[in-house]
């Protein structure tokens, strides 16, 4: 693929995932209502504050090194080192968030169900860390078609998954999704 094709598919993919994300948010907001969606917003904001600490350059390094690797063994080595580096940063921070969940839920927000949601978010942060490195590996290998397809499929699957679980289980369903 030439650079123009890659860029166009990248833009189309981003547009599709953004539209699907907006649809997902609208459906979830409608199903939950303002109060419950506010709880979701607080917990995801806490997750975002902690999640930002994962971004220490491991994904960019993986992309760069995998792109110049000359053998599959070298690409695999870069992938695993990048993944472990990301997890060494992400897991302790996620564990700290999980340990602070009771304090956050009882002292900061006084919402009894919040500790469970914060703990689920801390697990999600670890999964996001892994997802970032996997995306970096696909980008480094210049497997853009596969990467873009996975992104759109994931975004499309999330809409009914989130809608169904939120409809069935409310706020708990949001964090389980």
Q: What is the per-residue pLDDT across 103-142, written as a single tens digit (0 to 9) for each?
A: 999 899 888 889 999 999 999 999 999 999 999 998 988 8
Task: Tell me the CA distances in angstroms from 101 to 10, 24, 39, 85, 156, one per residue in order.
Answer: 37, 26, 14, 25, 31
Query: What residue has token string 């927000």?
Result: 109
Say yes or no: 26 and 60 in one domain: no
Say yes or no: 46 and 129 in one domain: yes
Say yes or no: 70 and 20 in one domain: no
Say yes or no: 134 and 52 in one domain: yes
Q: What is the number of structural domains in the chain?
A: 2
Say yes or no: 9 and 95 in one domain: no
Distance, CA of 158 to CA of 150 (rounded, Å): 12
The answer to whether the beta carbons of residues 114 and 105 sit under 8 Å apart is yes
Say yes or no: 55 and 136 in one domain: yes
- Give 34's pLDDT tier (boundaries 50, 70, 90): confident
Say yes or no: 110 and 151 in one domain: no
What is the structure's pLDDT at 16? 95
Say yes or no: 125 and 156 in one domain: no
- Give 94's pLDDT tier (boundaries 50, 70, 90): very high
Distance, CA of 89 to CA of 53 (rounded, Å): 8
Say yes or no: 97 and 69 in one domain: yes
Domain encompassing residue 12: 1-32+144-177
């Amino acid at each position: 693929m030439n650079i123009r094709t890659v860029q166009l598919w990248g833009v189309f993919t981003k547009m599709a995932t953004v539209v699907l994300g907006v649809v997902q948010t609208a459906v979830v907001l409608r199903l939950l209502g303002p109060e419950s969606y506010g709880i979701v917003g607080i917990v995801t904001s806490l997750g975002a504050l902690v999640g930002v600490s994962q971004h220490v350059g491991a994904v960019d390094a993986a992309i760069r090194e995998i792109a110049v690797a000359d053998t599959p063994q070298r690409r695999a080595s870069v992938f695993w080192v990048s993944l472990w580096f990301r997890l060494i940063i992400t897991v302790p921070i996620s564990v700290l968030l999980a340990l602070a969940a009771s304090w956050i839920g009882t002292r900061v927000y006084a919402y009894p169900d919040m500790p469970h949601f914060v703990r689920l978010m801390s697990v999600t942060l670890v999964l996001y860390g892994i997802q970032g490195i996997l995306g970096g590996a696909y980008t480094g290998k210049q497997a853009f078609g596969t990467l873009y397809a996975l992104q759109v499929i994931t975004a499309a699957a999330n809409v009914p998954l989130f809608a169904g679980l939120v409809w069935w289980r409310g706020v708990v369903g949001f964090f389980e999704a």
